[in-house]
Amino acid sequence: MEKILRLHQSITRFDGLITEWGGSLLSLAIRVWVGWQFFKAGLVKISDWSATLALFHDEYHVPVLPPDLAAVMGASGELVFPVLLLVGVISRPAAFGLFFVNLMAVISYPDLFTFECPAGLKDHFCWGALLLVIVAFGPGRLALDSWLSAKAKR
């Protein structure tokens, strides 16, 4: 029994460190990776604005919004929310905003639901799930939100 207890102690020696910082590192990785995917899409949109407008007029079918407004809102969301996520400022609202941009992309582009583009739908599903992790659990300690929160408590 003593050997089992020593084995347990050696295995759980770093539990506090992993619990304290492991989730924060994972949150940072999620924020950087998902944010980069959307930021790249935003850069593509603003690099050729006339092509972006044409896509929103002809390909994407955003419900309720006029195509020009949808293009501006989509590009803005893809450029602003990832920066907020990376820095870790208002991270939960930024993650929720990107989740909504992601949802609109899926709803507005019906080709994602065809057999021609199954990987695209899987990507959007994965990004949405990871963004919901940030919404639910926060950005972790490696975010400006955490530092501001600690400052406000003092």
Indicate the pLDDT class of residue 3, thresholds 50, 70 and 90.
confident
Please give the pLDDT value at position 125: 93
Domain assignment present for residue 74? The answer is: yes
Distance CA 145, CA 11 (A): 32
120 within domain boundaries = yes
| Statement: residue 14 has pLDDT above 80 | no
Is the pLDDT at 11 greater than 70? The verdict is: no
Task: Tally the domains of the chain.
Answer: 1
- Determine, yes or no, domain membership for 92: yes
The DSSP code for 112 is: G
What Rg value do the Cα atoms of the chain yield, rounded? 20
Which residues lie closer than 8 Å to 143 by C-beta, 6 or more apart? 27, 28, 31, 87, 88, 89, 91
Residue 6 lies in a domain: no
Name the packing angle between helices 91-108 and 67-87 (round to 10°): 140
Mean pLDDT value across residues 39-47: 97
- Global model pTM greater than 0.85: no
Look up the domain containing 145 and give its range.
22-153
Give the model's confidence band at 116: pLDDT under 50 very low, under 70 low, under 90 confident, else very high: low
Sign, CA dihedral 118-120-122-125, equals negative
Query: How long is the chain?
Result: 154
**101 close to 81: Cβ distance less than 8 angstroms:** yes
In a domain, 14, yes or no: no
Q: Average pLDDT, stretch 80-94?
A: 96
